[in-house]
């Protein structure tokens, strides 16, 4: 049974930082790509960042230079370090598992329950 459990969300002021974690179980974590999506109220879900099994990464233009995705295969955990947060980063953030070693569009097959990130003063 695949489980993706996110943690680390919360309320932060503009300019602040948060680190999201996603603990995975029931999967061959080290050989799969992982990623983070987000969905803001009234907006479509969008890819924030992804990391393949070799550590290669991809980021949405809106978060480049501010967010960093990383993975710890021994802990079966993927992280999203978020710095210089802006109000427009407010959304529910979802951890995703890809069915392959790379992060092809449409290949996300398992999703976490989501964690709320709110950036507000």
Contacts of 71 (CB under 8 A, 6+ apart): 34, 51, 55, 77, 78, 79
pLDDT at 104 over 90: no
- Say how far apart CA 52 and CA 47 lie, in whole Å: 14
H or E, element range at 21: strand 18-25
Under 8 Å between Cβ of 50 and 106: no
Q: Can you name the residues that pair with 82 across neighbouring β-strands?
A: 18, 67
How many CB atoms within 10 Å of residue 76?
Answer: 18
Find the mean pLDDT for residues 66-95.
97
pLDDT tens track for 24-68: 998 888 899 999 999 999 999 999 999 999 999 999 999 999 999
pLDDT tier at 16, thresholds 50, 70, 90: very high
% residues pLDDT > 70 (the chain): 100
- Residue-averaged pLDDT of the chain: 95
């Amino acid at each position: 049974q695949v489980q993706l459990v996110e943690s680390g969300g919360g309320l932060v002021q503009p300019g602040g930082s948060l680190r999201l974690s996603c603990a995975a179980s029931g999967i061959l974590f080290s050989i799969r790509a992982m990623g983070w999506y987000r969905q803001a109220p009234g907006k479509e879900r969008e890819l924030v960042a992804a990391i393949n099994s070799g550590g290669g990464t991809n980021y949405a233009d809106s978060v480049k230079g501010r967010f960093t995705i990383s993975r710890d295969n021994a802990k079966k955990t993927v992280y999203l370090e978020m710095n210089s947060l802006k109000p427009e980063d407010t959304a529910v953030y979802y951890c995703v598992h890809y069915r392959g070693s790379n992060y092809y569009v449409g290949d996300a097959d398992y999703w976490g329950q989501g964690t709320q990130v709110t950036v507000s003063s």
